[in-house]
Amino acid sequence: SLIIDLDPQARDLEGYLFPDTYEYTSTTTREQLVETMVKRFRKVFTPELQNQARQFGWTTRQAVTFASLIEKEAKVDAERETISSVYHNRLQKGIQLACDPTVIYAALIEGKYRGKIYRSDLDRDSPYNTYKKIGMPPGPIASPGKRSLNAALSPAQTDYIYFVVDVTKNDGSHKFSVSSGDHDRAVQLLRQQERGQLP
């Protein structure tokens, strides 16, 4: 009921508990804290952002869902808009988003996540599995912060279709690619690093 006007489909508050620092006391109830977090979301998700979402043809739920993918993928703030561009490009091309955090989320909600992604996770028949389903998952997989909300609605202008962790850096940043060949080489480097085969 706290978000019903913005998201009539919401069955819970996933995506709407805004991540921030909050002051509370020992007498603050859980309900009060939740209400404060939702109010903060409403303040951050301004009418301007709502209008930008409408320009993409998105509901609030879709905008928050898209932003939640960025929130879970981005380890480096400066990459949020570029990650957003990859997912926008994939949506426009009608290809799977192939977002690892959605696969993890699908496993988590079924109580089957084992700490990393296995082939069986990629094959899981779930509306959240963006390796199998085309388009966005049915709802948010996390609560996006302001940077991710902004990035979702103001993506960088790129032709990138792929990204993977950049093994040449140690900060969680990604290697972005236009071609599948370049992406495959970046993935191969990651696999070699995981097996301890890189210097």
**69-83 pLDDT, tens per residue?**
999 999 999 999 999
**120-141 pLDDT, tens per residue?**
999 999 999 999 999 999 999 9
Q: How far apart, in whole angstroms, are the C-alpha atoms of residue 126 and residue 18? A: 26
What local confidence, expressed as pLDDT, does residue 188 receive?
86
* pLDDT reading at 42 higher than 80: yes
This model's pTM is above 0.85: yes
What local confidence, expressed as pLDDT, does residue 199 receive?
55
Cβ(113)–Cβ(129) below 8 Å: no
Number of Cβ within 10 Å of residue 138's Cβ equals 13
Q: 42-51, 84-93, 183-192: which range is least confident on average?
A: 183-192
